[in-house]
Amino acid sequence: MTRRGFLVRSGLAVAVPIFVPAGALGRNGIVAPSERITLGAIGCGNRGLYDLGHFLHEPDVQCLAVCDCWQSRRQKGKGIVDDHHGNSNCKTHRFHEELLASEEIDAVLIATGDRWHAVMSILASRAGKDVYCEKPFCMTISEGRKLVETTQRFGTIWQCGTQRRSNSSYRFVADTVRKGAIGKLHTITMSFGGWGANGIARPEPVPAGFDYDRWLGQAPWVPYSPVRVQHWRQHWDTGAGPIADMGPHFIDTAQWAHDSEYSSAVEYEGQAEFPAGGFANVPSVINVQACYSDGVVIRMNSGNKGVRFDGDQGWIHVDDFGNITPKSMLRDLSVSGVSYHYMAGHVRNFLDCVRSRRQSVSGPEISHRSHTIAHCANLCLRLGRKLRWDPEGERFVNDDDANRMLARTMRTPWGL
């Protein structure tokens, strides 16, 4: 993967807005602007249905189809959609290709396992669909770059499910740091929570109504096991690990506050504990120190979820629920600092962008850059050594092993 995107090449790192009337993409301009945005939902598990609920809550959304490799889940998804629209029109698909081939669909929601996010996002963009995709959106840095290039090429809107971008508390914290209210920023500390161990993945017959082959996707073939299917996040084959799981949220806030959304940290060093004995092979406890080129340090650990910024004149912390400390930071400012409903604003922003054709608040490039930090940290832990990253060339400096891990081969027939 040596090809660089034209925007990077031409020095336009920031996505250029493209003014195209909504609904025109991939449909040869058939749509009236007042029409609802038609949605297809891929992935009807817990998170998928949670996201879908928020989409359906928006009055200008019409969900036309759902897709899942579990028969029962796609049926459940259809039930929710049909109940909402008061009809029985929602189509169900086992294969996302069918859903993406539907000319009626403007936008897709992708809330599958990690390994599918980039593959499906890219396929959807190629089909001219706009995409709301859960995080982590890529398994490797090369997947991330490819997604950025594809959305740029086809001018599709793509939003990462990093809904804290649309949360007033997180916005407040980022603004506060940017304005210099804590003085000169020197350290960012983020905690992702600890991950446990689990049992041994013993092979079992594939249950009825489950397309295991689809479920696996790009991951190397291994026999079905309930432990694997339940705990897929905890294996590098199927998930991107704890840093890439919560990192996209908190790293995104860090990039935002540090005003480096189009770059990444350049040095990574750390240790991890890996759970012994069980199926899991991603770290359970992590401790990584990354460093930006200006010397600002990012510390990542497994404490209670949240992110804290330390400057030479103060600090500010926001937890997973949007609670801000210290309270003195909130004085005279119009932010409640208490928990708030994350999703609505984020989904709304995506839908507005589908209409205005401007790239969303969690667009491809900035999401790719924050995911890059997570993946660099991952590779630093997997290789057990300090890594140096060149955010311009998007390669590790003097580490061939790490550079090999920028991409990996996908199982047939999947590929980018």
* Per CB under 8 A, 175 contacts other proteins: no
* Per CB under 8 A, 57 contacts other proteins: no
Q: Which residues of 17-28 are buried (b: 16+ CB within 10 A; e: fewer)?
A: eeeeebbebbee
Give min distance, CB of 154 to other proteins, in A.
5
Distances (CA, A) of 106 to 64, 145, 259, 347: 10, 23, 32, 15
What's the alpha-carbon Rg for the chain, to the nearest Å? 21
Give min distance, CB of 150 to other proteins, in A.
9
Paired strand residues for 210: 70
* Per CB under 8 A, 397 contacts other proteins: no
Q: Which C-beta is closer to other proteins: that of 86 or that of 384?
A: 384
Q: Tell me how many residues contact other proteins (CB under 8 A).
A: 80
Give min distance, CB of 213 to other proteins, in A.
6
By CB under 8 A, the residues from 79 to 98 that bind other proteins are 94
* Per CB under 8 A, 352 contacts other proteins: no
Q: Which C-beta is closer to other proteins: that of 295 or that of 384?
A: 384
Q: Which C-beta is closer to other proteins: that of 300 or that of 387?
A: 387
Nearest residue to 376 via CA among 300, 279, 277: 300
* Per CB under 8 A, 197 contacts other proteins: yes
Instruction: Spell out, one character per residue from 218 to 257, where the chain touches other proteins: x when CB under 8 A holds, - when not.
Output: --xxxxxxx-------------------------------
Residue among 35, 83, 103, 213 that touches other proteins (CB under 8 A): 213
Whether 405 contacts 380, CB under 8 Å: no
Instruction: Spell out, one character per residue from 10 to 49, where the chain touches other proteins: x when CB under 8 A holds, - when not.
Output: x-x---xxxxxx--xxx-xx--------------------
> Dmax of the chain from CA atoms?
61
